[in-house]
Structures are given as C-alpha cells and as structure tokens.
Amino acid sequence: MSSLPTLVEGARAGRTRDIARLISLVENGADAVPELMRELAASAGAARVIGITGSPGVGKSTTTSAIISSLRHAGARVGVLAVDPSSPFSGGALLGDRIRMQQHATDDGVFIRSMASRGHLGGLSATTPQALRVLDAAGFDVVLVETVGVGQSEVEVAGSADTTLVLLAPGMGDGIQAAKAGILEIGDVFAVNKADRDGADSTARELRSMIALSDRSGQAWVPPVVKTVASTGQGIDDLMSALDQHHSWLVATGELHLRRVRRAREEVESIAIGMLRRRMGSQDERGGLADAAAEVAAGRTDAFSAATALVTRLMQG
Amino acid sequence: MSSLPTLVEGARAGRTRDIARLISLVENGADAVPELMRELAASAGAARVIGITGSPGVGKSTTTSAIISSLRHAGARVGVLAVDPSSPFSGGALLGDRIRMQQHATDDGVFIRSMASRGHLGGLSATTPQALRVLDAAGFDVVLVETVGVGQSEVEVAGSADTTLVLLAPGMGDGIQAAKAGILEIGDVFAVNKADRDGADSTARELRSMIALSDRSGQAWVPPVVKTVASTGQGIDDLMSALDQHHSWLVATGELHLRRVRRAREEVESIAIGMLRRRMGSQDERGGLADAAAEVAAGRTDAFSAATALVTRLMQG
C-alpha cells in the first residue's frame, strides 16, 4: 500500500486508482482520515457540487448520465458520488442503465463511485462530505452527488451541494406529495423528467404554482422548472443552462460562500458530536450512559435528569 | 393555565384536555418539560407501544383505524401519535378517511394526536419519546405510533416501539425496493394490505422468501406476514393475533426489557447530544463553531482538526 502523501499526490495528478483508494480510506473510516483531511484542506473548494435527488423511478441515473455527457462535451472533468441503494452505479441497475453508463466508465475525465449509505437508510453516507473533499482536491470541475430522495436524505443532499436539482416525473402523485413535505424548500432547480409522458405539463404547472405560493416566491432566486426526457437528451440543454444560471447567481450574490461556510459548520459539528458520542458511549462504568439507560427504563429517573448528569460528568472528565 | 402538578394529575385521571395540554408543552419544548419528565418517570413503562409504518398509499390510516377498533372491542384504552404529514390525523386526509376516524374521535377510550415532524422531514418528531411518556403515564394500555415510511423514519419508529408493524400493498414495486433497503430489518410483523388487489399473494410470497433468506431467518422471532383488507376488516384478527404473539414473545424472552433499555439509552443520548450541540452553537465567539466553519471553508484548517479543537475547548469550558 502506498503511503498517504503518495496517494494524495497521485489523486492530485488525477490518477483514478489513487482517488479510488483515498475514497476507500474515507469510507472505511481509516485511522488515516484525519491526516488525509489535513493534507487536502488547502486544495479544497474549487469544484462545483451539484446534488441530484428524486423518488425512485423518476430517472435519476439517466439524468445524471445525460448531465455527465453535457459537462464532458464542454470539457469539464466530472466526479460522481452515487449514494443510492437502487442506483445503477451501486449495482441495483436495469441492464439498459448499465449499458448507458459504459460510455462514461471508459472516459478518463469521469470518475464514478457508489457509496454505501451505511447507517443512513436511503440517505447520504456519513462519509460523503469527506469523499467530496477527495474529488475536489483531485481537480474535478464538477462533482455530482446523486441520492434517492426519501425524507431526510433530500435535506442532506441539499446541505452538501452548492446547487440541488430535484427530479420529478409526471403522474407520480408521490412526487407532488413529497414536494408538499419539503422538497420545495431544498430544490434550486426542478426538472420534470419523462416529459414525453402524459401529465408532464400539469406536473410542471402544479410545481410552478406551488413555488409561486411558497415562501420562496419572494426570494432573490426563484427555482426554475424545466422539462426533460433524459433518455433522448431532450431538454438537457435547458437543464444545464438552469444549473449554470444558479451557479452564477450563487457566485454573484456571495451565497456560494455562505453555503460553504454553512456546510463546513455542519461538518465540523457532526464530527465533534461523533467524538462526544463516542466519549459518552465509552462511559459504560457506573454513572455512565448504560447505567443511565437502565435507571430511566426502570423509572428510577427521567431522561432529562440522566442526560444532565451525563453531560456534567463528561465536562468534568 | 393550570399548574403542572394539576395537569399531571388530570392526565393520570384520563382527562383528555389535560393530556392534550401536556403533549403541547412537550411539542413546544416548554421550559417545564424537564420537570414534567421527572414527574412522569415513575409511572412510565406500562403501555404497549406499537409502531406502524409504510410508504404513502399502503393504507396506514385505515389500518390504524381498524387496529383501534379491534383494541377497543377488547376493552383497551388506546393512544395514537400520528407523525405523518400525509396522515388524516394531521389534516392531509381524504374525506373518506376522516369520516372513518370520526367514530374514534367521540370515543373517550381513544386519544388521537398528530405531531409535526419538525426538523425531521417525513420522520418521527424529536419530541415523540416524550409524548409517548405522557400517554403512558395517562394510563393508555396501547399506544400506536403511526409514521410514513420513508428512509430514516422507519428506523426511528422501530427504535421507539416495542413492536414495529410494516405495511405494504400489492403491486407497489417501491414496497419491495424499500424492503431491500432496510425495512426487512426493522419489521416485527408485516402486513400486505389491500390484499383484495391483484398481486397480493406474490407480494406476500416475495416478502416471506426475503425474510427466509435474510439474517433474521435464524433468529428466535421470524416476522410473520399477514394479508389484510383494512377497509373491510378482513385479516385484522390475524394481524392482531400476530401483534399479540410478538408481544408475548417480547415478554417471555426478556427482549421487551432490553428494547426499553435501548430506547432509554437513545433518548438519554439524544437529549445529552442536544445539550452539547447547544453549548457548541453558543460558542460563536473567537475559537467557536462559527469561527471554525469559516476557517474550514477558507481551507485554512480541516474539519477534523477544527472539531478536535472545539471538543477540547468544550471539555475545558
């Protein structure tokens, strides 16, 4: 196994195998991860990060593939993190989708990696921010983070991306239901894919009026709704132009910087919470977490009192 | 406004209005919550908690309603927490479902409360464990926690319930897809609802063989799969009997106690983490979280180093 500095150097030079190894380190939570993150800190922040989310069946993989082609055509190097149990990248593919991806698999300017969503059912892997930093440092111009849009993961993908693309398909009642539940707040750009099917116009119209009625209508950026047929490429130019416009808006308004500081804040907080959680978990002697849980379960104390005692103890320890 | 001890006394006596007020306190995160939890600690642990989850459209509300009727018929008092943006309890109802619920609305032995899933998109409200304790202390024999099954929330409902019922419907590819993604691991009892539709047998068969092939096949409890048509009551007796069998198994094996200790552990940990998070969030002066985030975003340090410094500082402070 090469040394960490050698792998980092290789990744910076764009060597696929070294990039893949670094992401494996990150994914396995190797002891070397903090050192790796220190190495990469200075070179991060150049890549544009686009999150892509939507319910199963809206055509996320086909759309991702079409976006890759378009970015490649424009000369950009593209990294892809697919955090999705049903994604073709991670093995749950239809044969057609897999074949479609082959063209990118042999392209040196494209790096595709599936990530297990360990402990994050259907959501973003906890190690996604670190994998993003590896791809960023490896010089990819754009990193696409694809994740299945179910509940919490949509919010997470929005948290880790500069621009969040939410996909819907016509005739999926669930799509609009999901919209009600929260995607309206996280999408920067919406695409109604499979727009050659019945109901595409009404889905797009419904979405536009929901956006108009939402809190976002008064904001500086009102999310556009484009119609695409990713399998034929129809509408992909419009989609790319909407994504580019959002990026320009982010840069011009300073919102890009604000989003990245917010993302860094969440990352630092989440790592710190993980450290504190491990400290608490290791307090398994008398007075520790396991003891507290047994006392609460037996009704001898309540969860608040137990938590207060635990935190006091941790602060002293 | 009545004093806290008066409200608690009223809730213990089964007064609906006092129960509702206590849950509002909990939901609003009132300052009185720690005191309330101290008051309730000793009287908790009597209620059987059944979690009910499934994708939108599988008939969660109709099934919940049928379960309530069956439990009432057996003389049990029933509390219901509906943590679901699309639930009829919380307002997103079809008219028919609402009408069906009317019978329970006028029944003194049933308390139904919808909870916002604030900050937990599509998932369990962060305050659900505390609301559970209120209903438990109020003497309900069974508490049903209904939540839409999307991603993380399924895991959460399993964490807060003694028995988790997972609902599916025939012909929903998503159902089985979701199963692949993780519901297999959390369901104690599975019901294929709308079993009068085409494909119910094959959905049930597919589910049974997935269970047989899973890690769970070798465990002491192999989750049964029952078929129901909740709207007509067909199969509800089988479902109730499967739920009762699981409860007996929990009691006989000591697993009930283990689950409740685990639940208490998660509750204590989550409250403690919340306290630590607030402390970190309030560190907004130089060297605090906001400062750390800015340094990381600018590439002057990495998230691990920043988190380590933050935790060290917190421990000293």
Write out chain A residues lying below 8 Å of B176, CB-based: none
Angstrom distance (rounded) from CA A172 to CA A175: 5
Alpha helix (H) residue ranges in chain A: 4-12, 16-27, 33-40, 60-73, 95-105, 128-137, 152-160, 173-178, 184-186, 200-213, 236-253, 255-281, 289-297, 303-316
Among the listed residues B56, B60, B50, the one whose alpha carbon sits nearest the alpha carbon of residue B191: B60
Q: Encoding tokens for residue B221?
A: 């409890």
Angstrom distance (rounded) from CA B14 to CA B20: 11
Length of chain B: 317
Helix-then-strand count for chain B, H and E: 14, 7
Query: What is the amino acid identity at position B132?
Result: L
Question: pLDDT (tens digit, 0 to 9) for every residue of chain B, 317 residues total?
Answer: 678 999 999 999 989 999 999 998 988 878 888 899 999 888 777 899 999 988 777 888 899 999 999 999 999 999 998 875 544 443 333 333 444 556 677 788 899 888 765 543 333 556 788 899 999 999 999 999 988 665 555 556 667 899 999 998 887 654 455 555 567 778 899 999 999 999 899 889 888 888 887 766 667 899 999 999 999 999 999 999 999 999 999 999 999 999 999 888 888 888 888 888 888 776 655 668 888 999 998 889 998 899 999 888 887 76
Q: Which residue of B lies nearest to A272 if distances are taken between CA atoms?
A: B307
Q: What is the pLDDT of residue A98?
A: 44
Among the listed residues A147, A152, A127, A171, the one whose alpha carbon sits nearest the alpha carbon of residue A61: A147
Q: At A161, is the secondary structure helix, strand, or coil?
A: coil
Q: Encoding tokens for residue A71?
A: 């970015």
Q: Would an 8 Å CB–CB cutoff place A310 in contact with chain B?
A: yes
Q: Would an 8 Å CB–CB cutoff place B116 in contact with chain A?
A: no
Of the candidates B57, B260, B307, the beta carbon closest to that of A297 is on B260
Q: What is the pLDDT of residue A134?
A: 94
Q: Which residue of A lies nearest to B186 if distances are taken between CA atoms?
A: A121
Of the candidates B121, B181, B264, the beta carbon closest to that of A297 is on B264
The conformational region for residue A286 under phi > 0 = left, psi -120 to 50 = alpha, else beta, is beta
CA distances in angstroms from B313 to A8, A269, B288, listed in the order given: 31, 13, 9
Query: What is the amino acid identity at position B287?
Result: G
Question: Which residues have C-beta within 8 Å of that of residue B228, sequence separation ≥ 6?
Answer: B63, B66, B191, B192, B193, B195, B234, B235, B236, B238, B239
Q: Which residues of A146-171 are buried (b: 16+ CB within 10 A; e: fewer)?
A: bbbbbbbbbbbbbbbbbbbbbbbbbe
Q: What is the pLDDT of residue B63?
A: 94
Among A residues 132-151, those touching chain B with beta carbons less than 8 Å apart: 150-151
Q: At A199, is the secondary structure helix, strand, or coil?
A: coil
> Kindly report the CA angle at A286 between A289 and B275, in degrees rounded to 5?
30
Angstrom distance (rounded) from CA A285 to CA A292: 10
* CB hemisphere CA count around A303 (13 angstroms): 27
For chain A, domains (ranges, CATH) are: 45-253 (3.40.50.300), 265-316 (no CATH)
Contact A4, A35 (CB under 8 A): yes
Of the candidates B41, B42, B265, the beta carbon closest to that of A290 is on B265
Give me the sheet containing B48-54, strands edge to edge.
B110-114, B78-83, B142-148, B48-54, B163-168, B189-192, B225-227
Angstrom distance (rounded) from CA A145 to CA A165: 10
Residues (pLDDT < 50) of chain A are 86-99, 119-123, 174-175
Of the candidates B152, B299, B311, the beta carbon closest to that of A151 is on B152
Outline where DSSP puts E strands in chain B: 48-54, 78-83, 110-114, 142-148, 163-168, 189-192, 225-227
Write out chain A residues lying below 8 Å of B305, CB-based: 34, 37-38, 41
Q: What is the pLDDT of residue B107?
A: 80
| Helices B152-160 and B128-137, packing angle to 10 deg | 30
Q: Which residues of B153-180 are buried (b: 16+ CB within 10 A; e: fewer)?
A: bbbbbbbbbbbbbbbbbbebebbbbbbe
pTM of the model: 0.72
Angstrom distance (rounded) from CA A202 to CA A189: 17
Contact A144, A87 (CB under 8 A): no
Q: Which residues of B53-62 are buried (b: 16+ CB within 10 A; e: fewer)?
A: bbbbbbbbbb
Q: What is the pLDDT of residue A2?
A: 76
Q: At B285, is the secondary structure helix, strand, or coil?
A: coil
Q: Which residues make beta-bridge pairs with A227?
A: A192
The conformational region for residue A139 under phi > 0 = left, psi -120 to 50 = alpha, else beta, is left
| Helices B33-41 and B4-12, packing angle to 10 deg | 40
Of the candidates B56, B268, B299, the beta carbon closest to that of A42 is on B299
Alpha helix (H) residue ranges in B14-169: 16-27, 33-41, 60-73, 95-105, 128-137, 152-160
Q: Would an 8 Å CB–CB cutoff place A44 in contact with chain B?
A: yes
This complex has an ipTM of 0.80
Q: What secondary structure does DSSP assign to A27-64, as a single string? A: HTT-TTHHHHHHHHGGG-S-SEEEEEEE-TTS-HHHHH
Q: What is the pLDDT of residue B122?
A: 33
Write out chain B residues lying below 8 Å of A174, CB-based: 56-57
Among the listed residues A177, A180, A197, A188, the one whose alpha carbon sits nearest the alpha carbon of residue A225: A188
Q: Which residue of B lies nearest to A57 if distances are taken between CA atoms?
A: B174
Q: Encoding tokens for residue B238?
A: 């089988």
Contact at CB, A151 and B273, closer than 8 angstroms: no
For residue A187, report the phi and psi dihedrals to the nearest 5 degrees.
-75, 130
Q: How many CB atoms lie within 10 A of CB A300?
A: 11
Q: Which residue of A lies nearest to B119 if distances are taken between CA atoms?
A: A152
Of the candidates B129, B299, B304, the beta carbon closest to that of A34 is on B304
Nearest-neighbour CA in chain A from B197: distance (Å): 20
Contact A70, A238 (CB under 8 A): no
Q: Encoding tokens for residue B92?
A: 């997103």
Among B residues 63-92, those touching chain A with beta carbons less than 8 Å apart: 85-86, 92
Q: Which residue has the tokens 């002491």?
A: B220
